[in-house]
Structure 1
Amino acid sequence: MQGIRKEQPVILGISGSERAGGNTDLALEHAGELVRARGAVFRTVHLRDYRISPCSPCGDCNNRTIPCALPDDMPAIVEEMKKADGIIYAVPVHGFGLAHLMQIFIERAGVGYLRFERPLANKVGGIIVTCRRYSDAAVHHQLVDNLLLNRMILAGSGFPAMLRNTSREPGLNDSEGLDALARMTHRMIDMALLLRKAQAATGGPVLPLHDRNERMTQVRSAS
C-alpha cells in the first residue's frame, strides 16, 4: 500500500477462474483499466495462484471463536481484502454453477475468517460473471447473497455485469455486458469516494455496526 495517496480508492479484483487469459481474466482486466482511468488503484488476486484448502471435516465452524487453523494462503488474501475500499468478484460459470475455485474460497473466507468481525462491512462490492450461455444469473445471485452476508454495499449497474461469449476464443464480445460492467465499476468508485469523504468529515465510520458476528449474538441470546 506504500505510495498510495489517501484520496485514492483501492479496488481489489478477485478472479475465480482456473484459466489464465480467459474470458474472466479479460473482463477483470477491463474493469482494472476503467478503475485506473479514474485515478484509483486496482489490484488483482487470481485464486489459481494461491493454495486454498477446501473446508476440512473438523466440524467446529459453528462453535469456534478464532480464525480457521488450516495452513494455506487464505490469511494473505483476507488481508488484501481488508485493505481495499471495494472488491470485485469475477467468476466463470462451470457446470451450471459457481466455478469451484470461487466456491471453495467464499466458503473458507466466510466461515474461517470473515464472520468473526465482518471486516468487509461497508466496503463496496461488485460482481462479474462470464459464461457461454446458461446459469449466469444463478451464479450472480449466489455472489450477491455472499456480499450482503458480509454487510457490503452492492454497486448496482442496471443490468448485472454478466458477459457471454459463445466463441471458442476468449474475448469481450458482449457489448451490453460491457456497458453493465462499466456502469458498475464507475459506481463502485463513486461510492468509495463518497464513503471516504463522509468518513473524513465525521471522523468515524459512515455506517457503524452494532454487531459483528450474528452467530455469537445468537449464542448469547440462547444462554
Structure 2
Amino acid sequence: MKVIGINGSSRKDGNTAIIIGKVFEELNKEDIETELIQLVDYEIQPCQGCFACKGRGNCVFAKDGFAEIFSRMAEADGIILGSPVYSADVSAKMKAFLERGGVVVATNPGLLRHKVGASVAAVRRGGGMTTVDTMNHFMLNKEMIVVGSTYWNIVYGKNIGDVLSDDEGMANMHNLGGNMAWLIKRLDDEQK
C-alpha cells in the first residue's frame, strides 16, 4: 500500500510539505508507504487541449514532469494533494497539474477510480476553502474516495514552519492521516 503526496508549493520543503508530512506520519504508523513529490522540482506545462491522451492512459507530451508524476499517481493506492494559497486558490503549478490530469482521466475513464484521496492547504489568511474545494472537485470528478477529518484540512502559517504553531490544524492533519490509513486498509482487505 502506497500514498503519493503532491506538493503544489513554489517553496520546497515549506509549509505545504510540512503538513503533508504530518499526514504521512500517521500513514507510516500503519505501515503504509509514502512518497512526497514536490512540483517545484518539475516543469509542469498547461494542458494543450489536444486530447491525444485518449486511449493512452497518460499525456503524450513527456518533456516536462507531468507524465512521470501521473504514472506514479495512477499506481498509488492513495493521493494527497497539497497547495499553498497565494491568490485565493491553488497554486499555478497545482492548477496546471490538475488540468492535465483531469483531461487524461476524462479521456481514459477509471484511471483513478476508487483511489483514496485527501486535500490539504497551507494558508496565511483566506482562500483555504476554495483551494481545498478545487482539489476535492478534481478527485470527486475522477471517481476517487475523498477522506475527511474533524475540521477543514487547512493549516495557518505564513513563514516556513509557522504551520507547526497551529495546534488545531496540525491535530487535524494527524486525524486525516489516521482516517486515510483506516480507509486504505479496509479497501485493501476487501480486495483480498
TM-score by length of 1: 0.78
Matched, 1:61 2:51: yes
SS of equivalent to 2:17? helix
2:147, 2:176 within 8 Å by CA — same for their partners in 1?
Answer: yes
2:97 counterpart (105, 108, 129): 105
Q: Given that residues 61 and 67 in structure 2 are in contact (C-alpha distance below 8 angstroms), is that contact kept between their aligned partners in structure 1?
A: no
SS in 2 for 1:12: strand
What RMSD in Å do the two structures reach over aligned CA positions? 1.9
1:1-223 aligned at under 5 Å gives the runs 9-56=1-48, 59-61=49-51, 66=56, 67-71=58-62, 72-111=64-103, 113-115=104-106, 116-166=108-158, 168-171=159-162, 172-200=164-192
1:169 deviates by 4.3
Contiguous gaps of at least 5 residues in structure 2: none
Percent identical pairs in the alignment equals: 27
- Cα 1:173–1:76 change in 2 (3 A) is same
Q: Is the contact made by 2:84 and 2:90 (CA closer than 8 Å) also made in structure 1?
A: yes
Look up the SS of the partner of 2:165 in the other structure: coil
Report the structure number with the largest CA radius of gyration: 1
CA, structure 1 residues 62+193, in 2 after alignment: closer, same or farther (shift >3 Å)? same
Q: Find the aligned partners of 2:136 and 2:130 in 1 and give their Cα distance.
A: 10
Q: List alignment gaps of at least 5 residues for structure 1.
A: 1-8, 201-223
Give how far 1:94 is off: 1.0
CA distance in 1, matches of 2:143, 2:75: 16
Output the amino acid matched with 2:60: A
Whose RCO is larger (CA < 8 A, sep 6+)?
Answer: 2
**Cα distance in 2, alignment partners of residues 120 and 64 from structure 1:** 15
What do residues 200-221 of structure 1 show as CA deviations (whole Å, max 9, x unaligned)? 1xxxxxxxxxxxxxxxxxxxxx
Matched residue, 1:212: none
State the one-letter code of the partner of 2:51.
C
* Residues matched between the structures, number: 188
Please tell me whether the aligned partners of residues 161 and 180 of structure 1 are also in contact (alpha carbons under 8 angstroms): yes
Distance 1:73 1:63 in 2: 15
Q: In structure 1, how many angstroms separate the alpha carbons of the residues matched to 2:55 and 2:191?
A: 30
